[in-house]
Amino acid sequence: MSIENCPCGSGRAYAECCEPHITGATPAPTAEALMRARYTAFSVGALDYLHDTLSEKKRHLHDPEAVKQWAETSTWLGLEVHGVMGGGENDETGEVDFTATFEQKGVRQQHSELSQFHRENGLWVYADGRVRGNPTVRREEPKIGRNDPCPCGSGRKYKKCCGR
């Protein structure tokens, strides 16, 4: 497969960035490098890499058919790393906060996650993640009822004025 720029968004060539990790030529040196390679594995269809880089405790939860369906029915649009805590070459654990953008069935979507990584047998593996959703929106003013006076000042009921 010939890919100029790496799908992970590093700005480097695929052959110099994620490909050596995905092919097994070199292990990912950091938690961030592993996370970027895992994203790239989705976009290039190297789905065995996703299983192989899971922690041993999580491998029994891996559903290769579901992963394959998600990867193949999605167009992978980009990866944004928001922050990294630990996960360096001399660390044993690390966190990567990221958002992956993809399109599925014509709908643009985002998967935002705070991922946990640790080393097993000297190699970085994905241990767990917490999906981040949209923040809850709280109403500051009380909700206007359908039969309340319209706040526009027309003197009409909300349902007959601006509430249509």
Where residue 149 falls among pLDDT bands split at 50, 70, 90?
Answer: confident
Mean of pLDDT over the chain? 91
Please state the pTM of the whole predicted model.
0.78
Where residue 138 falls among pLDDT bands split at 50, 70, 90?
Answer: low
Task: For residue 108, give the nearest of 77, 69, 70 by alpha carbon.
Answer: 77
Q: What is the pLDDT of residue 128?
A: 95
User: Could you tell me which CATH number the domain at 14-134 has?
Assistant: 3.10.450.50
**DSSP assignment of 146-164, as one string?**
TTSBPTTSSSSBGGGTTT-
* Averaged pLDDT, 10-16: 95
Q: What is the pLDDT of residue 136?
A: 58
Residue 23 corresponds to which tokens in the numbers above?
């092919």
Predicted confidence (pLDDT) at residue 71 exceeds the cutoff of 50: yes
